[in-house]
Structure formats: C-alpha cells, structure tokens
Amino acid sequence: MQKPGKKLSFLIAGATVGALVLSGCSGAGSSGSGDSADNTITALMVGNPQMEDIQKLTADNFTKQTGITVKFTILPENELRDKVTQDVANQGGQYDVATVGAYEVPIWAKNGWLHELSTQANADSAYDTADLIKPMVQSVTGDDGKMYAAPFYGESSFLMYNKEMFEAKGLTMPEKPTWAQVAEFAQKLDDKKKGVAGICLRGLPGWGELFAPLTTVVNTYGGTWFEKDWTPKVDSPEFKEATNFYVNLVKQYGESGAPQAGFTECLNTFGQGKAAMWYDATSAAGTLEDPNASKVAGKVGYAYAPVNKTEYSGWLWTWAFAMPKTTKKADAAWKFISWATSKDYEQLVGKNLGWPRVPSGKRTSTYAIPEYKESAKAFADVTLGSIEHANPQNPGVQPRPALGVQFVGIPEFADLGTKVSQEVSAAIAGSTTVDKALADGQKLAEDVAKKYK
C-alpha cells in the first residue's frame, strides 16, 4: 500500500499543477463573471435543428459583423422549459436571450418579466415588422399590444406520410384526412416484422410533448380542458373518446418505445423510414427534406392535420426569442435577436445549409423566395395554410376561457398538462387506463379552476 501511495501522490501533485495552470488560462476567458463584459451575451436555445443551425452560423457571421460573442446553452425541450422558467420567474439574470414559446410569452409579459421589443423592432426598418405573419405576431404580443418576443420560426401541425409505402399498398392520402381514415391507413401499413410502425405519435410526458398533438385531437373530437366559465371537462365523454382513440392508435400501430418518444425521437423514427405516417409539427419538414439528415427526403407527402368534428385542427406554435427584463445588454441582445429572425438570416441559412432548413412560418416574404418555394414545394402551401387556419381563440367546438390551440394560456397549465400527460403516457405503456388517468386529471383541473371561477 505504501508504494502505490507515493506514486499516487506524485501523480496528483502533477495533475493538480496542470489543472491549475489550465484553469488559470481559462479564467481569463470563461469565468470571473464580469470580465468578458459587453461583447458577450448568453443565449438559451431549444435543441431543435433550426436552433442548432444558429449556433453553427453565429461565429462566422454575426460575431464577425458585430464583434458580439454569443454563448449558447442548448437543452431538450422539457429541460429548457424548466430552466428558462426558473431563470425568468426568479429574475435569475443568467440569460440575455432566451427561447420561449407561444404559451409563455403573454403570461410572462403580463408578469413584467420580459423586455418589450416593439420599440426596437419598429425603429429598425430593415427588420420589417409588417412582414411578420399575423397569427405569429399575435401569439407573442402582450395585453398592452407590444411585442415581447421575436418569432424565430412558426409552425402548425400536419400529417406527414411516406409516399413510397402508400404507393406500395395502393393507398391515397386525401388532402384533408379524418382521424378515422388515418387509423385505417395505420392498420394497413403497420408492419411489425419490418419494424415499420403504421403511425408515429408522441407519447413522451410533458404538456408540450404528448399533449400538443393530443389536445388537437381532443379539440376536433369536441372536447376541451375547460369550458368558458372554467368548468373542467377532462373526464367528459369527448375528451375520453379522443384520448382513447389516440392511446389505442399508438398502442396498436405506433412506434416502439412510444411512451418515451417526443418530437426528437419521432423525427428520428420517421426520418429513418420506420413509420408510415407521422402527425407532428410542420417545422419537421425542413429536416425531413434534407438528404443529409433524413433517409426519406423527397419521399414524404404532407396533408392537413386530421380532423373529426372541426374543419381544421392544426395547432399554432412559435419558438421565439425574448429578452428577460434582467438583461443588462439589451442592445447587444436585440442585435442578435434581430439578426437571427431577419430576412437576411433566412438567406444565409438557405445559401449555406440548404433552403429546406430555413426557419419558416414567421414571415410572409419567406414564401416568396424563389429558391425556398422550389425546395419546399412539397410542404410550403400546406404549412402556410395550416398556420393561417389555426385559431387560438376558438380551436374547438365551444368557446374557451383562455388563448391557445394545443394548450390553455394560464400559468397552471404547464403543471396540469404535464401531470395528466404522465398518466396518459402510462396508459400508452399499459400500466394504467385512460379512464383512470382522466379521472385523476379532472381532479387536478378542478384545483386549477378554483383559482379562476
């Protein structure tokens, strides 16, 4: 024991000295909080392909033009929500730019947590606020009519299907399918032996994961979370019918590992040709049509979100960049935000990374770029149509108490939706039933409703 001990202490001494030298060097650049001061801003991004593209393009373009360094943190969607809410709600001040969604912006603006952007946006003629698509602007506008976040990309939801698989079975997808038709296709195309699922649907818990597509199904089946007077309706027959339909569909013909599959996993599954259909965000198309990232590029057909009782059922979402009130670098942060959401940035992505990857759905002018139109002809029209037909005020068959298609625009919904989604996800895994999940959900919804009635 003595001998190795001596050797050991030498090694440690060596390692420590080395480490100190290294960290001493790094100290200048990375830590010591205040030093890298005005020319560095911090940004929190969600781990979607479009945001990862920003990270790739920033150093060589934005930093070169402005001298502003951007430090990124990239997190998966659920973790991102925890983190950004934690920071903004507590005025933690860790980020100068944060990625927030259509759900958070109006609530947070009301709480006075976000820096308004209208002043800077209107002063910047190159930014051209008039070009932004109306429903997108509305979803990031506070009660005072000011913009509190800049949409980076906008999306609705639609049905993607593998044209080769449909042709092989002699099936044709209508432009506006119903859920009954989709279930029939799923049954015909499901091929467990080949490892091909009939349909890929999200099963990962999280109000923004599983409940994004599921709430749109509930809407079109005539259900809702709350009625206009805040009566909770989670255990209503319509909500149950829709949830049972969704759960059974994914259980019978869905992807393997469905209870753990979110947008990311589904994108992989469908992109690897392991599912015949996929109902999810329109923004997935950009990645699916990129031959470097997908095996099904050029083979995908796009249809409107499947419906039952309503005419359209697509959701409305935007990932947008906001500045927490705590930022001390509002000018630098705005420079970054306006760069990343500008027309020029779309050109930059198109030319460097390929036109299908342009963060679309926020500017009308995007759909007039000839190269984009050419590369996105398979999905551009359906995308724009879906966005324009989404109605956050009245997405179902009855009036609603709060804004939102696939969510309820109140702060409590994140917790409510997530808890119920855990139960529904468990029902997909087979460890509980939909009835029990929704009965529990109704109780939680009643607690929430008490605060509003």
Partner 1 sequence: MTDVITRTDPKPEVVAPVKSGSAKDRWVRRAPLLPALIFAIIVTQVPFLVTIYLSTLSWNALRPGDRSFVGLENYVTVLTDRRLRSALTNTVLLTAGAVIFSMILGLALAVLLDRKFFGRSVVRTLLITPFLVMPIAAALLWKHAIYNPAYGLINGIFGGSTDWISSYPKAAVITTLVWQWTPFMMLILLAGLQSQSEEVLEAARVDGANAWQIFTRMTLPHLRQYLELGALLGSIYLVNTFDAVFTITQGGPGSATTNLPYEIYLTTFRKFEYGEASAAGVIVVILTIIVATFALRVISSLFRMEESR
Partner 2 sequence: MTTLAAPRRKRRPANSVWGVVAWVAGIVFVFPVIWMVLTSFKQEQDAASNPPSWVFSPTFDQYAQVFDRNITPFLLNSLMASVFSTLFVVLLATPAAYALSLRPVAKWTDALFFFISTKMMPAVAALLPVYLLVKNLGMLDNVWTMVVLYTSMNLPLAVWMMRSFLLEVPREVLEAGEVDGAGLITSIRKIILPIVSPGLAATALICFIFAWNEFFLAVNLTATNAGTAPIFLVGFISSEGLFLARLCAAATLVSLPVLIAGWLAQNKLVRGLSMGAVK
Contact between 39 and 65 under an 8 Å Cβ cutoff? The reply is no
Query: For partner 2, which is the closer residue by CB, 20 or 368?
Result: 20
Query: For partner 1, which is the closer residue by CB, 184 or 440?
Result: 440
In angstroms, the CA 251 to CA 270 distance is: 17
222 binds partner 1 (CB under 8 A): no
Give min distance, CB of 61 to partner 2, in A: 16
Query: For partner 1, which is the closer residue by CB, 53 or 190?
Result: 190
297 binds partner 2 (CB under 8 A): no
Q: Which residues in 69-98 contact partner 2 (CB under 8 A)?
A: 71-76, 79, 83, 86-87, 90-95
368 binds partner 2 (CB under 8 A): no
Contact between 256 and 266 under an 8 Å Cβ cutoff? The reply is no
Going 379 to 380 to 383 to 389, the CA torsion angle's sign is negative
Query: For partner 2, which is the closer residue by CB, 31 or 187?
Result: 31
258 binds partner 1 (CB under 8 A): yes
β strands within 127-184, DSSP E = 150-155, 157-162
Q: Kindly report the number of other CB atoms within 10 A of residue 362's CB atom.
A: 25
User: In this structure, what token pair is assigned to residue 313?
Assistant: 């059922």
352 binds partner 2 (CB under 8 A): no
Contact between 316 and 405 under an 8 Å Cβ cutoff? The reply is yes
99 binds partner 1 (CB under 8 A): no
Q: Which of 382, 337, 372, 339 is nearest to 158 (CA)?
A: 382
187 binds partner 1 (CB under 8 A): no
430 binds partner 1 (CB under 8 A): yes
92 binds partner 1 (CB under 8 A): no
1 binds partner 2 (CB under 8 A): yes
Give the one entry of partner 2, partner 1, none that residue 264 binds, where binding means its C-beta sits below a cut-off of 5 to 8 angstroms depending on kind. Answer: partner 2
Contact between 51 and 99 under an 8 Å Cβ cutoff? The reply is yes
Query: Alpha helix locations (H) across 30-161?
Result: 49-57, 64-66, 77-89, 104-111, 118-123, 134-139
Q: Which residues in 101-130 contact partner 1 (CB under 8 A)?
A: 107, 111-113
Contact between 159 and 177 under an 8 Å Cβ cutoff? The reply is yes
Give the one entry of partner 2, partner 1, none that residue 429 binds, where binding means its C-beta sits below a cut-off of 5 to 8 angstroms depending on kind. Answer: partner 1
CA 421 to centroid of chain Cα atoms: 16
Query: For partner 1, which is the closer residue by CB, 68 or 84?
Result: 84
Give the one entry of partner 2, partner 1, none that residue 217 binds, where binding means its C-beta sits below a cut-off of 5 to 8 angstroms depending on kind. Answer: none
Which helix (H) or strand (E) is 13 found in, with range?
Answer: helix 2-29
Give min distance, CB of 229 to partner 2, in A: 35
Q: Which CB contacts under 8 angstroms, 24+ apart, belong to 291-295? A: 293/49, 295/271
340 binds partner 2 (CB under 8 A): no
Q: In this structure, are strands 69-75 and 40-46 parallel, antiparallel, or unpaired?
A: parallel
User: What 8-state DSSP symbol labels residue 273?
Assistant: T
Per-residue contact string for residues 407-426; x = within reach of partner 1 by CB under 8 A: ----xx-xx--x---xx-xx
269 binds partner 1 (CB under 8 A): yes
User: In this structure, what token pair is assigned to residue 214?
Assistant: 């599921």
Stretch in the footprint of partner 2 (CB under 8 A) among 130-138, 168-176, 177-185, 259-267: 259-267
Give the alpha-carbon dihedral of 401, 403, 407, 412, to 10 degrees. -60
Residues that bind partner 2 (CB under 8 A): 1-2, 4-6, 8-9, 11-12, 15-16, 19-20, 22-23, 26-27, 29-31, 33, 42-44, 47-49, 52, 55, 71-76, 79, 83, 86-87, 90-95, 195, 263-264, 267-268, 271-272, 287, 292-294
